[in-house]
């Protein structure tokens, strides 16, 4: 790595000009290349930096010496990395600080030189030393991060809902829904989402981007405001907002006429049903699309004709990397009593070993087990990450050869013990 210089810094503005400072400008020029984003206007870049500061993002940039005339300036990094901290619901409304990784890029001309491995392994070791029980990320490519011990822990469905005449719910919703100016969500969306987050395993605090998208202040495709955004709120029996939807009309060229959901958050089942009922009766449209629906959404069961809900695709969402097995497993609830011995392999030597989990039906004590203690299951640290929120089934992982079942029936026992009573869902990317 002698040909490269690594720098850690926080996004910042130049006090004399009011513009992002040189390092920050270079950093975002690099991530724009990595993620195929259009070059930002001055205003869009300013807003992006403000959001990064609001989220508390910590940046790492890798610089290479400029060798050729006309090439990108040496102030533009050849690789980038960032992390920030957000609370994560590990089950039962228990919120734990997570180490969230994002903006990982390596310029194509500097691939296969160990930059990604160096950035990732250094960061994970530092996160473990800082006391984080796990790290998390969302991946633009599915085959990259398992080698670093990350396992898929939550999933999202992209759905299409036929709202043409005949759309009907099994039970009449309360219909306590009113439209509002999207700007109302600046204050209400964080509050409502904060309440929702405590109901859903795997859900985590959101970034500033989600607030600005919901309010129409940000169109992620253009970096500018989106004046086509509309919004509606659901109110509980006391008149308090407990759900919202942000959406836009897809345009008259779209066939059939379609409403595209930007954000949909419901704290209660009543809010969920009523907001969908509202969407179904929007005039001049016969379809609603949503790219971040829960894997176990109740929507098909709400309708008299479940075929009106069509899953277009399923994608992995949150990937979890366990950094401290004892701390991570003792942080989450355990609703089924029992004992389980796991042999965990970690190629990065951050969290491997043999552990005994003893659950009393509420909490668990996790202890290092001696080598003489037989392991019920043997698995990699990535597979433990997939099990962590209860989203992956140990029985299926054993059938796929991802887990070795050393004791007959141990996978079934693990399936019941890891279950959190509700499939994990985090309508959040970073």
The residues assigned a catalytic role are 145, 430
Residues 6+ apart with CB under 8 A from 36: none
Q: What angle do CA 9, 12, 17 make, to 5 degrees?
A: 140
DSSP string, 178-203: EEE-GGGHHHHHHHHHHHHHTTSTT-
**At which residue do the structure tokens 């907002």 appear?**
241
Strands 58-64 and 79-89: antiparallel
Q: Tell which residue, 326, 319, 333, has the closest CA to residue 353.
A: 326
Contact 123, 137 (CB under 8 A): no
Describe the crossing of helices 22-34 and 42-55 by its angle, rounded to 10 degrees.
100
Strands 95-106 and 134-137: parallel
Report the C-alpha gap between 217 and 224 in whole angstroms: 7
**At which residue do the structure tokens 């930007």 appear?**
262
Strands 377-380 and 403-405: antiparallel
Distances (CA, A) of 119 to 44, 57, 80, 97: 28, 16, 9, 21
């Amino acid at each position: 790595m002698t040909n490269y210089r690594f720098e850690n810094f926080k996004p910042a503005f130049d006090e004399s000009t009011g513009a992002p400072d040189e390092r920050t400008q270079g950093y975002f020029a690099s991530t724009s290349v990595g993620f195929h984003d259009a070059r930002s206007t001055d205003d869009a870049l300013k807003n992006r930096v403000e959001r990064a500061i609001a989220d508390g993002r910590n940046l790492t940039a890798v610089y290479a010496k400029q060798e050729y005339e006309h090439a990108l300036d040496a102030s533009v990094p050849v690789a980038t990395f960032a992390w920030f901290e957000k609370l994560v619901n590990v089950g039962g409304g228990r919120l734990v600080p997570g180490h969230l990784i994002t903006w990982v890029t390596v310029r194509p001309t500097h691939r296969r030189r160990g930059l990604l491995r160096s950035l990732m392994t250094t960061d994970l070791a530092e996160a473990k030393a800082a006391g984080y029980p796990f790290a998390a990320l969302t991946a633009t490519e599915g085959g990259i991060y398992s080698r670093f011990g990350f396992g898929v822990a939550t999933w999202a469905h992209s759905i299409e809902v036929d709202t043409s005449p005949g759309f009907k719910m099994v039970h009449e919703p309360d219909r306590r829904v009113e439209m509002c100016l999207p700007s109302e969500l600046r204050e209400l969306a964080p509050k409502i989402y904060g309440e929702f987050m405590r109901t859903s395993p795997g859900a985590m605090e959101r970034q500033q981007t989600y607030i600005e998208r919901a309010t129409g202040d940000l169109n992620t495709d253009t970096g500018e405001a989106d004046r086509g955004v509309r919004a509606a709120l659901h109110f509980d029996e006391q008149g308090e907002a407990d759900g919202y939807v942000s959406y836009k009309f897809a345009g008259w060229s779209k066939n059939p006429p379609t409403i595209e959901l930007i954000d949909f958050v419901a704290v209660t089942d009543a809010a969920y049903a009523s907001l969908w009922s509202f969407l179904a009766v929007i005039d001049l449209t016969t379809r609603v699309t949503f790219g971040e629906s829960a894997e176990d959404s109740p929507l098909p069961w709400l309708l008299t004709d479940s075929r009106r809900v069509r899953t277009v695709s399923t994608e992995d969402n949150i990937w979890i990397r366990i950094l401290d097995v004892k701390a991570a497993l003792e942080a989450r609830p355990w609703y089924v009593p029992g004992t389980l011995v796991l042999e965990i392999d970690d190629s990065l030597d951050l969290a491997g070993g043999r552990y005994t989990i003893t659950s009393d039906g509420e909490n668990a004590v996790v202890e290092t087990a001696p080598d003489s203690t037989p392991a019920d299951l043997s698995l990699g640290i990535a597979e433990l990450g997939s099990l962590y929120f209860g989203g992956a089934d140990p029985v299926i992982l054993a059938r796929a050869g991802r887990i070795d079942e050393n004791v007959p029936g141990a996978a079934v026992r693990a399936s019941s013990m890891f279950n959190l009573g509700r499939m994990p869902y985090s309508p959040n990317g970073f």
